[in-house]
Structure 1
């Protein structure tokens, strides 16, 4: 018997109905990222608990590792039990954990609460990616994943926006932000529970090119996970993109710290630079995703975006040091975010389609495997990067990230999919 909040669709939605359900899935992605955001209160939290950055890095590494394990299992369970069955409890419980976070007054308590939150959150984020795939035929897959990436980007922006206006109202008490995040998250969860739906297992087993090709299968069995492990190109996808993500997560976790430490910028200026980069990234993923869908090509965009990222990053590394004009730093840093957006969304569509070609019933498992490996990388990043920076400065660590971009570029040789359009036929693009 399905839980009360599960609504399965026996007929694939089209038109405005499909767009609406896709938007609900994107909102779920935003909630899953927002309710675990801690960067906005980290300086206050560290001061209140007497916690060093090194200690926080260790706490973050262990909690992210726990979340990585959850991401892998969450994807597998969502393929078997359904997306919404797992997603709604993960979102709601994690949101409620923010009230528990507000009661923390020791480093040990922070560790256990963060592990609990990241364990629940890991499965939720994986499942939102699976839902986006379920509601996006291939003609609109890249643009759909572009909106999905607005989840982490939008969560960061929303948390910073709320903190900027409400922290002064509560005497800069970090606990206020935990309570506000809990209230906002639960409110959005209520809307998601009210409106969310998912395709049945039979519909999820279909490979749809466009809405016009919608058809429902009468029977569908669960795919076998070991099927994924037999295909080398899927492993190369996961390995290559994990190397690419070293740079992204370096900016996501340490962006402001890098700008203040590497260029001597003040905290407010660093936040403005990061905010501009986030906005450009959000625009880039949608524009590139739409063009990629229109011409049904993925790999050329990923390759061009990565080459541009490599060039810009090499220049950025050479710039690091005092005395560089803030406008110059802002331009290069923003371009890095822009180029990463060009590369990322077409890759996500390519990975999803390559996994779909192996077995469309295992989308959640494939995305869960990727999410788990990426989180293991984040754990290593949190432990290793501070030591590398301490020994050789930000140039040394960003050189490691540069190598990751090059390895990702080389890994594209194994990806499936065309490099150019065949013939002169036109395609109809849908989101």
Structure 2
């Protein structure tokens, strides 16, 4: 028997109905990311708890590792039990945990609360990506994933925007942000429970090229996860993008801290700089997603975006140090987010389609495996980066992130898909 909040569709939605369900999936992605955001208050939290960057890295690493295990199993279970069955409780309980976070007054308490939150949240984020795939035919897959990235990116923007304008109102008390996140997240969860739905297992097994055209239909029976594991190009996707994610998660976790430590910005200004970069990223992903879908090309956009990101990052590293104008740092930081948006969305569509071609019934499993590997990388990053930063500054760690961009660029050789649009056949001349 399905829980009361599960609405299962037996007919593929089209038109406004499909767009609405995609919007709900994007909202769920935003909630899943927003309710665990800590970057906006990290400098204040570290001061209040007398916690060093190394200690925070160890706490975050262990809690993310817990979340990685949850992400892997959550994706597999969502293919078997359904997306919404698991998603709704994870979002709601994690939102409520923010009120528990506001009561933390020691490093040990922070550790246990973060482990609890990330264990619950881990399954939720990868499931939202699976829902986006379920409601996006290939002709619109990149644009759909562009809106999905508004989840993690929009969560960072929302948290930074709120913190930038409300922290001064509450005397820079980080607890205020935890309470605000709890209230806002629960309000959005109510909307999700009211509107969310998911395709049946039979519908999820279909591969749609356009909104109402079935390109290939699979059996509603469950696929075997080992089908995914035997394809090297899928592992190239997973490990290559994990290298790319080093930079993204460095900014997602330490963005405000980098701006504060390396360029002397206070917390409110740093949050506003981050918010501006996120706005540009949100615009870029939609434009690039539309272009990628229109041409049905993925790899060229990913490659160009990665090269631009690497170039901007190298320049950003060269700026590190005191005396750099805030306006200059803001522009370079914003361009980094814009270029990352160009690279990421076409890759998401490429990975989804390559996994779909292997086994259409295992989208949740493929995304879950990717999510688990990325979280293992985050664990390593959180353990390794603090001593590197303490020894050589943030510019040394950002050089490691630059190497990750190079790894991602090299891995594209193994991806499936075209590098250019095939030329149209010349018209036949009547004899």
* Residue equivalent to 1:205: 205
The answer to whether the 8 A contact 2:236-2:411 is kept is yes
Paired with 2:13 and 2:76, the residues of 1 have a C-alpha distance of 24
* Residue equivalent to 2:26: 26
Superposition deviation, residue 215 in structure 1: 8.6
| 94-103 or 357-366, which deviates more | 94-103
Deviations 1:51-95 (A, max 9, x none): 232222211111011111110000000000000011011011111
Structure 1 segment 309-324 matched on structure 2, within 5 A: 309-324=309-324
Superposition deviation, residue 253 in structure 1: 1.6
| 145-154 or 273-282, which deviates more | 273-282
Residues 1:289 and 2:260 are matched in the alignment: no
Residues 1:258 and 2:258 are matched in the alignment: yes
Distance 1:329 1:292, change over 3 A: same
The answer to whether the 8 A contact 1:238-1:373 is kept is yes
Distance 1:211 1:171, change over 3 A: same
Residues 1:160 and 2:170 are matched in the alignment: no
Deviations 1:183-238 (A, max 9, x none): 22112111111110000000000000011305996951100000000000000100
| 209-218 or 268-277, which deviates more | 209-218
Paired with 1:156 and 1:47, the residues of 2 have a C-alpha distance of 21
Paired with 2:84 and 2:202, the residues of 1 have a C-alpha distance of 15
The answer to whether the 8 A contact 1:12-1:216 is kept is no
* Residue equivalent to 2:61: 61
The answer to whether the 8 A contact 2:80-2:222 is kept is yes
Superposition deviation, residue 155 in structure 1: 1.2
Superposition deviation, residue 266 in structure 1: 4.2
Paired with 1:189 and 1:161, the residues of 2 have a C-alpha distance of 20
Structure 1 segment 281-430 matched on structure 2, within 5 A: 281-424=281-424
Paired with 1:415 and 1:142, the residues of 2 have a C-alpha distance of 16
* Residue equivalent to 1:270: 270
Paired with 1:40 and 1:314, the residues of 2 have a C-alpha distance of 25
* Residue equivalent to 2:429: none
Paired with 2:287 and 2:54, the residues of 1 have a C-alpha distance of 39
Paired with 1:239 and 1:384, the residues of 2 have a C-alpha distance of 18
Deviations 1:94-151 (A, max 9, x none): 1111122222222212111110100010100000000000000000000110111111
The answer to whether the 8 A contact 1:63-1:111 is kept is yes
The answer to whether the 8 A contact 2:26-2:132 is kept is yes
Superposition deviation, residue 8 in structure 1: 0.7
The answer to whether the 8 A contact 1:12-1:214 is kept is no
Superposition deviation, residue 168 in structure 1: 4.3
Paired with 2:74 and 2:398, the residues of 1 have a C-alpha distance of 32
Distance 1:342 1:327, change over 3 A: same
* Residue equivalent to 1:115: 115
Distance 1:6 1:249, change over 3 A: same
The answer to whether the 8 A contact 2:43-2:257 is kept is no
Q: 2:212 aligns to what SS in structure 1?
A: helix
Distance 1:396 1:161, change over 3 A: closer
Superposition deviation, residue 251 in structure 1: 1.5
Superposition deviation, residue 424 in structure 1: 3.3
Unaligned runs of 5+ in 1: 426-431
* Residue equivalent to 2:70: 70
Deviations 1:258-316 (A, max 9, x none): 23333344444433332221111111111000100011000000011111112222222
* Residue equivalent to 1:429: none
Structure 1 segment 84-99 matched on structure 2, within 5 A: 84-99=84-99
Paired with 1:83 and 1:154, the residues of 2 have a C-alpha distance of 22
Q: 1:149 aligns to what SS in structure 2?
A: helix
Paired with 2:390 and 2:215, the residues of 1 have a C-alpha distance of 58
The answer to whether the 8 A contact 1:10-1:216 is kept is no
The answer to whether the 8 A contact 2:31-2:185 is kept is yes
Q: 1:300 aligns to what SS in structure 2?
A: helix
Unaligned runs of 5+ in 2: 426-431
Q: 1:208 aligns to what SS in structure 2?
A: strand
Superposition deviation, residue 48 in structure 1: 3.2
TM-score (norm 1): 0.94
Residues 1:242 and 2:239 are matched in the alignment: no
* Residue equivalent to 2:133: 133
Paired with 1:306 and 1:70, the residues of 2 have a C-alpha distance of 29
Q: 2:416 aligns to what SS in structure 1?
A: coil
Distance 1:325 1:174, change over 3 A: closer
Distance 1:65 1:328, change over 3 A: same
Paired with 1:87 and 1:109, the residues of 2 have a C-alpha distance of 26
| 337-346 or 313-322, which deviates more | 313-322
